[in-house]
Amino acid sequence: DHPEIQEEIYRKDDRLLTLLKDVYVESRGPPVQVKDQGGEHLPCKQEEKRLTKLGHLEALDVKKVPKGKISIVEALTLLNNHKLHPQIWTAEKIAEEYSLELKEVTSLLEFFIPFAVQEFPTEGRKAI
């Protein structure tokens, strides 16, 4: 908007150009060589993913997880399924269904137990 600012931007400064022309950088030293380890390459960490099995809670969680892992909603779902139907949802079936290690599923079922909320009838409160 201001012509004096535009003029200052496009004006050549001969003194500055002379100083810049005098700058010269020279590097002396052996060229750096990258050592090759005989064809060894860093492993490519490309994890195989699987779609989650969320049912009606699909909107609450992630859509894909790496194989060998489960999402929070899946963990709660499988723990609840095992609690309600332990003869159907065995550790072996859960490990196969969710692509998990059997040892990890066994530990999960042993140490993580979903709690249950129990409501007592109002007439029995005095007895408790």
Q: Where are the domains of the chain?
A: 68-115
Q: Are 102 and 92 in contact (CB under 8 A)?
A: yes
Which is more confidently placed, 83 or 115? Answer: 83
Confidence (pTM): 0.47
Query: Cα separation of 78 and 59, whole Å?
Result: 17
Supply 39's token pair. Answer: 């064809």
Dihedrals phi, psi of 96, to nearest 5 degrees = -70, -45
Question: What per-residue confidence (pLDDT) applies to 56?
Answer: 54
Which is more confidently placed, 100 or 27? Answer: 100
Convert the pLDDT of each residue in 48-80 to its tens digit: 655 556 555 555 556 777 888 888 888 888 898
